[in-house]
Chain A
Amino acid sequence: MANASTIQTAPPAPAVEKITVRVDGRVVLVPKLMPDWSGKLAPTTMIQACQAAGVEVPHYCYHPSLPVAGNCRMCLVEFGTPALGPDRKPVTNADGSVAINKSPRPAIACATPVSPGMELYTDTPAVKAMRQGVLEFLLINHPLDCPICDQAGECKLQEYSVEYGQSATRFVEAKVHKPKTVDLGPRIMLDDERCILCTRCIRFTRDIVGDDALGIVNRGSYNTIAAYPGRPFDNNYTLNTVDLCPVGALTSKDFRFQMRVWFLKETKSVCPGCATGCNILIGSRDNRIYRYTPRENAAVNGPWMCDTGRLDYKWIGREDRLKEVRGAKGEGRSWSAILANIAGKLKHAPAGSVAIVASARLTNEELYLLRKLAQRLGAATDTIPHQGEGDRLLVNVDKNPNTLGARLLGISAHPPGANLNDFAAGIRDGLIKTLIVFREDVTRFGLGADLLGRLETVIASSILPNETTERAHYVLPGCAPAEKRGSFTNAQGRVQRFMKAVEPPGEARPESEFLRELLEQVTGRPLPANPEGLFNLVAAEIPAFAGVTWAALGDAGVTVPI
């Protein structure tokens, strides 16, 4: 998970030794060594060379982030190497070209290193026949239950059947039957009949997670993936095996039978579950979220994400979401009226009489608007830290997705939360008369109901109701990250943007929208009406973000100096 694109100038890379190979007649120059699954440099393989040449080699068991197994045999290619004479010098043909010794046996592209002058043939009748043969073998004992299989639509058996499948079967024997609906663990269901025994799941949990939980029992065609008897497959990364499974053998208990994948709209987003900021795709249909899947980003999460983050979407659709903007009695019930009232109050608030408890769950753009508001009002700000368990793989102990953004934007105290005692004292002493709270329930963090009761004005924005919103004079319903656009800055300083997947319920609006309107009314100065414009203001004003633009964030984000 290196190679972060960065705005810092990287030291010049050492010269990489390159070798020339031919792929289907096309000359490509590839590094002699390339990173293997673990990132260590290893001899470049045929499949990597083919990729460099833009030639797709079909495969099941190979995965660039897993140790090579070489078992599916779908990636067999033919190849040749320069012929050497008795003097170990290359032999030339009559026309001066290098003579090639074509290997009588094929090689698996996933595991075989390339050598200088090697020629790879991926498109010959023999290669095609081998792929057809492997696919036929994989399908003879497969249940072919695509109509009820969750993998349908994103299944490698289906995909390669288009290219290498046959329209009729010649298999007239009885199929092998294996266990179905095997309850592997709390989140994973296994259908051993669909399994093609590529062992991606085994390798992932053993070599990536460090939990040697899965294995193969029996032998030959009766081989069966299984967990150790009585021991559930329940580490925090099990759902990655569902993504890794090239077929429908491993399914997510959460997602199975919920929606055909081809109906899902996929939106690029970032998991807000912790400060790692795993890149995700949100799968949604008709304004409902059905699943999160990891979106590969070598600089952040590789191709993985944790189960906790993946399943942490259901609250977005909760019935008790805050759906109405609310003000004091008689102040009207529209956003415009309520924002105007709040702006009126804030405009006349004496410096030091307003405190802002922001949240490190807000986006950089939203925090920027709160920063501007605080500057205008002379208000003190802080955020509330949320710590939990972390691990060595992806889960950060910091459960806020934008702690670093809040720090860089000057919203958090050092350490975050350090100002809360001062806020409590200020309220108790009557110095603080207005409290603005975003995405937090301050009653659980030292600003209890009694203190809130002393304030003249409590303005609370949240997504779900809590004691703070219950006691607030103004309630401004906000959006989950899946319902808006914005950017977070993760624990490593990676600034990553995310897109809107679904509409918020009722009157809920993206915080950046109503904060902008509020700020414009308080200051009388216009502000950009979209996250792009706001982010570019952040970049112009905050040194850490200097030089970065919303467009430059792209899909993979940009690492800023921290």
Chain B
Amino acid sequence: MDRKSGKPVYLICNADESEPGTFKDRQIIHKDPHQLLEGMIIASYANDVHLAYIYIRGEFVEGAKILNRAIAEAKAAGFLGRNILGRGYDLEIHVHRGAGAYICGEETGLIESLEGKRPYPRIKPPYFPAVLGLYQCPTIVNNVETLCHVKHIVAMGGAEYAKLGTPNNTGTRIVCLSGHVRRPGYYEIEVGKATLRELIFDPAFGNGLRDGRKLKAVIPGGVSAKLFKPGEKVKLKVRGPDGKEAVSELDVLDLPYDFTSVNAAGSMSGSGAIIVLDDSADLVEALANISVFFAHESCGQCTPCREGSLWLSKALNRLTGGGGRARDADYLVKIADNIPGGRTICAFGEACSWPVQSFVGKFKDEFVAKGAADEAKGSNRDGAQPAT
């Protein structure tokens, strides 16, 4: 945070919850909006912020109403507005509704949108929000869930709070479980205290798959996260009860659901959205569906994501539409490989290419088979003839 600039500091709560499979912030806003406001007020006070915004996804009409009502209540109770609790501290919180773009969840895109512009993510450097954020002033941007933690960290004390979860992954988080489980829903867990297997099969969480179904794949952190295939082995450094670190090989389902473990396994716990796919799922269809989302939501500012996301989507829809080729599997990965890894302005490049890399990488046979079947039927359309 740039505190020496002499400019005002802003706090923004990122409530543009749009990652497919994710519904935790909505629950918090609907069920306990004051928890969020309290976290924001504390965070604002700590950072000498006098103007804070909640940028809420446009589709969350009800959520925006709830938040505005909560803000009015907080004001009436003297927790917001002028001279809060007689401490001479002023804070206003404004709710700003987005207009329906996933990219506004990217913090600099959000800031542009809040400034009334097209939500093109900014280039970093130089536009790090902590230095040149909203109106070119130092700005803190945090997610709803993060700001809610503030209340509990302050109430419990840092040391006590840090006892929740596991040593490098403290606290709690909300897991959004969806897909082919019997009990989809949102579950607050201590970070790392439950494995993916437990989250899917434990009666306290997902309670398993439908009868007669087998687990096919798990997307561990929203659709942009790389998917896991049951049976994948992951090497993980685990700290034993004696405090010593040891490398152990785990089935991917036995991974503790925390940030570092899921990262170490080559994916991410991202938004905490776990999407479970059983053996009834057609992964080509599933990936095509995801790709339509990303092609629709790419802001189009920078070349690889703008062109790559739609290209992938068109190719996948050709494949699901009966115009596939056996070599489309390689074709898709080659296209996807040109998008991520710092080639784009924001992480959308990763978000739209990782699913392709992981779906096709781990289930290549299905993609090849689908394309080969189309070729055998001769149904692939003229433009997509095998190379001569």
Chain A residues with CB under 8 Å of chain B are: 68-74, 76, 104-108, 111-113, 129-130, 133-134, 136-138, 140-141, 170-174, 176, 196-197, 215-216, 218-223
CB of B241 to closest CB in A, whole Å: 30
**Most central of A71, A172, A222 by chain B CB within 10 Å:** A172
Contacts of B120 in A (CB 8 A): 71
Q: Is A173 touching B299 in the complex (CB atoms < 8 A)?
A: no
Task: Report yes or no: A173 in contact with B318, Cβ–Cβ below 8 A.
Answer: yes
List 19 other contacts, CB 8 Å, given A71-B303, A221-B300: A71-B301, A71-B302, A73-B302, A74-B303, A76-B343, A106-B341, A107-B342, A108-B123, A111-B126, A112-B125, A133-B304, A134-B304, A138-B307, A172-B318, A173-B314, A173-B318, A174-B383, A197-B301, A215-B118
B-chain residues with CB within 8 Å of residue A76 when the two chains form the complex: 342-343
Known: A215-B118, A220-B298. A105 touches B304 (CB 8 A): no
Q: List 20 A-B contacts (CB under 8 A).
A: A71-B301, A106-B341, A106-B343, A111-B125, A113-B125, A137-B306, A137-B311, A171-B311, A172-B315, A173-B311, A173-B318, A219-B101, A219-B297, A220-B295, A220-B298, A220-B309, A221-B295, A221-B300, A221-B307, A223-B300
The distance in angstroms between the C-alpha atoms of A68 and B125, with both chains bound, is 11
Hey, which chain B residues are within 8 Å of A223, CB to CB?
Answer: 300, 306
- A70-B345, A112-B125 known; A141 and B300 CB under 8 Å? no
Q: Separation in Å of the A179 CB from the closest CB of chain B?
A: 16
Q: Of residues A73, A107, A174, which shows the largest number of chain B Cβ atoms within 10 Å of its Cβ?
A: A73
Q: Contact: B338 with A137, CB < 8 Å?
A: yes
A68-B123, A111-B125, A173-B318 given; A220·B310 CB < 8 A: yes
Contacts of B297 on A, CB cut-off 8 Å? 219-220
Q: Distance in Å from the Cβ of A537 to the closest Cβ of chain B?
A: 53
Give which listed residue, A72, A141, A176, contacts B302 with CB less than 8 A. A72
B331 within 8 A of A: yes
* Least CB distance, A474 to chain B, in whole angstroms: 64
Q: What is the CB-to-nearest-CB distance from B20 to chain A, in angstroms, rounded to a whole number?
A: 16
Q: Are A137 and B303 in contact (CB under 8 A)?
A: yes
Minimum C-beta distance from A58 to chain B (A):
13
Find the B residue at minimum CB distance from A174: B314
Q: Contact between B296 and A220 (Cβ–Cβ < 8 Å)?
A: yes
B138 at interface by CB-CB < 8 Å: no
Contact of A133 with B338 in the complex, beta carbons under 8 Å: yes
Residues of B within 8 A of A173 (CB): 311, 314-315, 318, 383
Q: Which of A105, A134, A222 contacts B300 (CB 8 A)?
A: A222
Name B344's closest neighbour in chain A (CB-CB): A73
Bound complex: CA of A216 vs CA of B307, how far in Å?
Answer: 16
Instruction: Give the distance in Å from the alpha carbon of A392 to the alpha carbon of B59 in the complex.
Output: 45
**Cβ of B384 < 8 Å from any Cβ of A?**
yes
- Residue of B301, B314, B338 touching A136 (CB-CB under 8 A): B338
Is B118 in contact with A216, judged by CB distance below 8 angstroms?
Answer: yes
**B192 interfacial contact with A, CB 8 Å:** no
Contact check: which of A133, A140, A220, A222 meets B343 at CB < 8 Å? A133
Is there an interface contact between A221 and B301, defined as CB atoms closer than 8 Å?
no
Answer whether residue B222 sits at the interface, using C-beta atoms and an 8 A cutoff: no
B55 shortest CB reach to chain A, Å: 18
Q: Which residues of B contact A (CB under 8 A)?
A: 101, 118, 120, 123, 125-126, 295-304, 306-311, 314-315, 318, 331, 334, 338, 341-345, 383-384
Bound Cα distance A341, B303 (Å): 71
Contacts of A216 in B (CB 8 A): 118, 300
Instruction: Decide if B344 touches A141 in the complex (CB within 8 Å).
Output: no
Bound together, the chains give a CA A134 to CA B308 distance in angstroms of 10
Using Cβ atoms and an 8 Å threshold, which residues of chain A touch B345?
Answer: 70-71
- State the CA gap A106–B302 with chains docked (Å): 15
Cβ contacts under 8 Å, A105 to chain B: 341-342
Query: Which residues of chain A are within 8 angstroms of B344 by Cβ–Cβ distance?
Result: 73
Collect the chain A residues with CB atoms within 8 Å of residue B383's CB.
Answer: 172-174
Q: Which residues of B contact A113 (CB under 8 A)?
A: 125-126
Q: Which of A104, A111, A172 contacts B123 (CB 8 A)?
A: A111
Task: Determine which of B123, B299, B306, B310 lies in contact with A70 in the assembled complex, contact meaning CB atoms within 8 Å.
Answer: B123
Taking CB as reference atom, which chain B residue is nearest A215? B118
Alpha-carbon distance A222/B331, docked complex (angstroms): 22
Check B318 against A138 for contact (C-beta < 8 Å). no
- Counting chain B CB atoms within 10 Å of each CB, the highest count among A71, A105, A113, A216 belongs to A71
How far apart are the CA atoms of A108 and B303 in the complex, in Å? Answer: 13
The residues of B that contact A107 with a CB separation of less than 8 Å are: 342
Give chain A residues whose Cβ lies under 8 Å from the Cβ of B123: 68-70, 108, 111
Min Cβ gap A312→B in Å is 37
Q: Which residues of the partner chain B approach A170 to less than 8 Å between Cβ atoms?
A: 331, 334
B-side contacts of A133, CB under 8 Å: 304, 338, 343
Cα A69 to Cα B334 in complex, Å, equals 27
A44 CB to nearest chain B CB (Å): 13
Q: Are B342 and A197 in contact (CB under 8 A)?
A: no
* Alpha-carbon distance between A76 and B125 when the two chains are bound, in angstroms: 14
Given contacts A173-B314, A220-B297, A221-B295, A130 and B343 within 8 Å (CB-CB): yes
Whether B308 contacts A137 by the Cβ 8 Å rule is yes
Q: Which of B126, B303, B315, B334 contacts A73, CB < 8 Å?
A: B303
With both beta carbons as reference points, the residue of chain A lying nearest to B120 in the complex is identified as A71
B300 to chain A, nearest CB (A): 4
A133 to B302, CA, bound (A): 13
Closest residue of B by beta carbon distance from A135? B303
Cα A170 to Cα B332 in complex, Å, equals 11
Residue of chain A at shortest CB distance from B124: A111
- Collect the chain B residues with CB atoms within 8 Å of residue A215's CB: 118
CB nearest to B295 among chain A residues = A220
Pair B303/A221 contact, Cβ less than 8 Å: no
- A83 CB, nearest partner CB in chain B, Å: 20
Contacts of B314 in A (CB 8 A): 173-174
Structural contact, B300 and A220, CB atoms closer than 8 A: yes
Kindly list chain B residues whose C-beta atoms are within 8 Å of the C-beta of A140.
307, 311
Q: How far is the CA of A73 from the CA of B343 in the complex (A)?
A: 7
Residues in B neighbouring A74, C-beta threshold 8 A: 303
- Known contacts A73-B343, A105-B342; A141/B307 CB under 8 A: yes
Q: Which 6 A-B pairs have the closest CB atoms?
A: A105-B342, A133-B338, A137-B307, A223-B300, A221-B310, A173-B314
Note all chain A residues with C-beta closer than 8 A to B295.
Answer: 220-221
User: Complex: how many Å from CA A415 to CA B308?
Assistant: 64
- Let me know if B125 and A176 touch, CB within 8 A: no
Which residues of chain B come closer than 8 Å to A221, judged between CB atoms? 295, 298, 300, 306-307, 309-311
In the assembled complex, the Cα of A129 lies from the Cα of B304 at a distance in Å of 13
Contacts of B318 in A (CB 8 A): 172-173
Tell me the complex Cα distance, A111–B128, Å. 13
CB distance from A106 to the nearest CB of B (A): 5
Structural contact, A176 and B342, CB atoms closer than 8 A:
no
Q: Using Cβ atoms and an 8 Å threshold, which residues of chain B touch A72?
A: 302-303
Shortest distance in angstroms between B288's beta carbon and chain A's nearest beta carbon?
Answer: 13
Residue in A107, A176, A219 with the greatest tally of chain B CB atoms within 10 Å: A219
Q: How far is the CA of A108 from the CA of B314 in the complex (A)?
A: 28
Which residue from chain A places its CB closest to the CB of B117 in the assembled complex?
Answer: A215
Instruction: Please report the C-alpha to C-alpha distance between residue A72 and residue B295 in the assembled complex, in whole angstroms.
Output: 18
CA distance A112 to B343 in the complex (A): 14
The residue in A136, A174, A196 that gathers the most chain B C-beta atoms within 10 A of its C-beta is A136
Q: Which residues of A contact B309 (CB under 8 A)?
A: 220-221
Residues of chain B contacted by A137 (CB below 8 angstroms): 303-304, 306-308, 311, 338
Beta-carbon nearest neighbor of B307 in chain A: A137
**Of all chain B residues, which has the CB nearest A112?**
B125
A222 CB contacts on chain B under 8 angstroms? 300
- Most chain B CB inside 10 Å of its own CB: which residue of A68, A70, A129, A130: A70
Chain B contacts for A108, CB-based, 8 A: 123
Which residue from chain A places its CB closest to the CB of B349 in the assembled complex?
A73
User: How far is it, in angstroms, between the C-alpha of A176 and the C-alpha of B313 when the chains are bound?
Assistant: 13
> How distant is the Cα of A141 from the Cα of B301 in the complex, in angstroms?
15
Q: How far is the CA of A216 from the CA of B331 in the complex (A)?
A: 30
Alpha-carbon distance A106/B344, docked complex (angstroms): 10
With the chains together, A220 CA to B297 CA distance in Å? 7
CB-nearest residue of chain A relative to B310? A221
Query: Does A197 lie within 8 Å of B343, measured CB to CB?
Result: no
